[in-house]
Each structure stands twice: as C-alpha cells, then as structure tokens.
Amino acid sequence: MRFLKSLSADQNIILMKVKIKGKHIILGSIYGPNEQKPEFYGDLRAKIEQWDLPLVLGGNFNTILDRSLGVDNLDKEVRGRIPNI
C-alpha cells in the first residue's frame, strides 16, 4: 500500500491516495468547520476531483441537510447556533 497525503491548510482534511491490490482509491477524513465556510467544501471538492478516483470519505461534516424550523428539526434541537446549512 502506498500513501500520498494531502492536508488542508487548516488541517481539517486528510486525503490519502492508496493503492490496494493494484487499484488506486482515495481514503479521506474531514472535520468540517463549525461556522459558515462554503469555501471549505469547495476546496474539498477540488482536491478530490484532481485525482478522479473512487472515494471513501468520512468524518464530522458539521453540516445539516434538514432546513426545517423548530422542533421538527432534530439537528437544531438544543443548539445555541446553527451549524453549516
């Protein structure tokens, strides 16, 4: 297995291009920003697309997809501020 690491400037992204049984893939872990930073996800996409390989990505995205208000949205329940939408 061979590793080529890519770290973001804020060290919230680790991407590794690995070769397993002759096949290249990207393995990645991220910790998304706690505040609104759409450029973070643009940078992540750009890094991933430069390799154009299959991808396994995990981590804490600090992002919610549900835009419901109030008690209908469990992601926002008991939160002082809303994470990235």
Could you read off the pLDDT of 17-36 as tens digits, one per residue? 888 899 999 999 998 887 77
Residue 81 within a domain? no
Residue 53 within a domain? yes
Residue 40 within a domain? yes
Question: At 18, which CATH number?
Answer: 3.30.1340
Residue 33 within a domain? yes
Residue 85 within a domain? no
Give dist(CA 9, CA 18) in Å, integer.
21
The b-or-e profile of 42-73 (16+ CB within 10 A means b, else e) is: ebbeebbeeeeeeeeeeeebbebeeeeeeeee
Residue 12 within a domain? yes
User: H helices then E strands: how many in the chain?
Assistant: 1, 4
Residue 11 within a domain? yes
Residue 68 within a domain? yes
Chain segment 43-64, per-residue pLDDT in tens = 888 888 988 999 999 998 877 6
Q: What is the pTM of this model?
A: 0.64
**Domain range for residue 33?**
3-76
* Count: domains in the chain: 1
